Structure 1
Amino acid sequence: MPLPLPCLMLVTDRSLCAVPAGRQGGADGLGAAVEAAVQGGVDAVQLREKDPDGRSLPPEDLLPLARRLRQATLGRALLVVNGPLDVALAAGADGVHLPQSALPVRRPREAVPAGRQGFLVGRSVHSLEAARRAEAEGADYLIAGPVYETRSHPGREPAGLSLIEEITGSVRVPVLAIGGVTVGRVEEVVRAGASWVAVISAVLASTDRRAAAGELRRALDAAWAAVGAARL
């Protein structure tokens, strides 16, 4: 599936989904949240979930979530899995997303079956050097950040818009800005060069996720019409 431009991506965090006290949202709670976000205008969803200790979920726990999100997104939004390639393929996802420190992009690319043409491989990057390396390895898109302070990475110094400007000035693949992006900040990250915007709490922490996604969608479309389209 081709990459939409511009693109609003939702990165998941099931701890923000409404569930009984003391529990994290499971497949149903997360699926309902994603469905609302897609209805509001989200183009892509990245399944990125950890256990309460911050460790990556084992494949047997990640796969049911991936399958539920495939149901929520099929035909309406891209789904990429931040996790094992086998999970992404088994769930019928559109791609896999790699942390900056993970294996080279070519490894999962070479392992994708021939019948899955168009399967995406993305990479998170936190520096210009990492971005250049990921592009050279064949990444389809990059996620750069955190641009602003964010609850998903407490204590980490935000990179600022300068990171987006440096990376987009040096690579040709789409770059997505992540970390503390709100409706009021969408235009400035697009002006800095981002083609995509990724959010977590801006949608999932809202009491009306469909409306929150819709506000971000309108802000992104307006910013792209004013600034982004001129870069094509």
Structure 2
Amino acid sequence: MPLPRPCLMLVTDRSLCGGADGLADAVEAAVEGGADAVQLREKSLPASELSTLARRLREVTRGALLVVNGPLEVATEAGADGVHLPEDAPPVRRPRQGFLVGRSIHSPVAARRAEAEGADYLVAGPVYETRSHPGREPAGLALIEQVTQIVRIPVLAIGGVTAGRVEEVVRAGASGVAVISAVLAQRDRRAAAGKLRRALDAAWAGAGAVRR
């Protein structure tokens, strides 16, 4: 299944949800609110625990895509829709047709390389200052503009994206957004996802020729 356009991707952080149990509930609420993709990203979990969590999230993401930022085996065993790779990770061989491979990138050079290696979509950033990458200088909208001019695959903007910033990242060329705290740090995750969904759909409808 290809990545939908426009795409609202939730990136997980169980520390914002009181652990794995709370994360599953938060993900379910976000999907109900309009998230159409979830990236399981829990770098500190050992593979066995990540696998257990992936299977739990698969149960609450029916109707949405689930990609695992971790070992390919974890994704396939959980029945996930794909994997998500860091910028410097080696390419992976798809286990089946339609299996998604996404990649995080921080430069146009990395974006071009990722597309050449077969990535289906990119997550580019951080666009704005973000708590998930303290101390990293934000790349700004220029990164989105530059990357979307040289690749044909969807590019999602990440890093400090809020509902109020969705329109400008879409106008810069993004095919969607990836968020963490904009949903998970909110009291009502379903409502937060819904607000982002409405902003994204409105921005996409008005974006015209800048869509990619």
The TM tier, using the shorter chain, reads over 0.9
Equivalent residue for 1:63, pick from 43, 51, 55: 51
Tell me which residue corresponds to 1:100.
87
Tell me which residue corresponds to 1:44.
37
TM-score, length basis structure 1: 0.89
Q: Measure, in 2, the Cα distance between the counterparts of 1:149 and 1:163.
A: 14
Equivalent residue for 1:82, pick from 69, 73, 77: 69
Tell me which residue corresponds to 2:15.
15
**Aligned pairs (5 A) from 1:147-162:** 147-162=127-142
**Identity percentage over the alignment?**
79
Unaligned 5+ segments in structure 2 are none
**Aligned pairs (5 A) from 1:1-232:** 1-17=1-17, 19=18, 25-26=19-20, 28-51=21-44, 57-74=45-62, 76-104=63-91, 107-109=92-94, 112=95, 116-228=96-208, 231=211
Q: Measure, in 2, the Cα distance between the counterparts of 1:82 and 1:229.
A: 32
Unaligned 5+ segments in structure 1 are 20-24, 52-56
Cα deviations by residue, 1:12-58 (Å, 9 ceiling, x for unpaired): 000000x3xxxxx02x211100000000000000000133xxxxx22
Q: Measure, in 1, the Cα distance between the counterparts of 2:66 and 2:72.
A: 13
Q: Measure, in 2, the Cα distance between the counterparts of 1:228 and 1:40.
A: 25
Q: Which letter does structure 1 place at the counterpart of 2:74? A: V
Q: Which letter does structure 2 place at the counterpart of 1:85? A: L
Q: Which letter does structure 2 place at the counterpart of 1:58? A: P
The question of whether the paired residues in 2 share the 8 Å contact of 1:193 and 1:228 is answered with no
Tell me which residue corresponds to 1:22.
none
The question of whether the paired residues in 2 share the 8 Å contact of 1:85 and 1:108 is answered with no
Cα deviations by residue, 1:61-80 (Å, 9 ceiling, x for unpaired): 10011001100102x10000
Q: Measure, in 1, the Cα distance between the counterparts of 2:211 and 2:59.
A: 34
Q: Which letter does structure 2 place at the counterpart of 1:191? A: R
Q: CA deviation at 1:131?
A: 0.2
Q: CA deviation at 1:156?
A: 0.3
Cα deviations by residue, 1:172-198 (Å, 9 ceiling, x for unpaired): 000000000001000000000000200
Q: Give the count of matched residue pairs.
A: 212
Q: Measure, in 1, the Cα distance between the counterparts of 2:88 and 2:2.
A: 26
TM-score, length basis structure 2: 0.97
Q: CA RMSD in A?
A: 1.1
Q: Measure, in 1, the Cα distance between the counterparts of 2:115 and 2:57.
A: 28
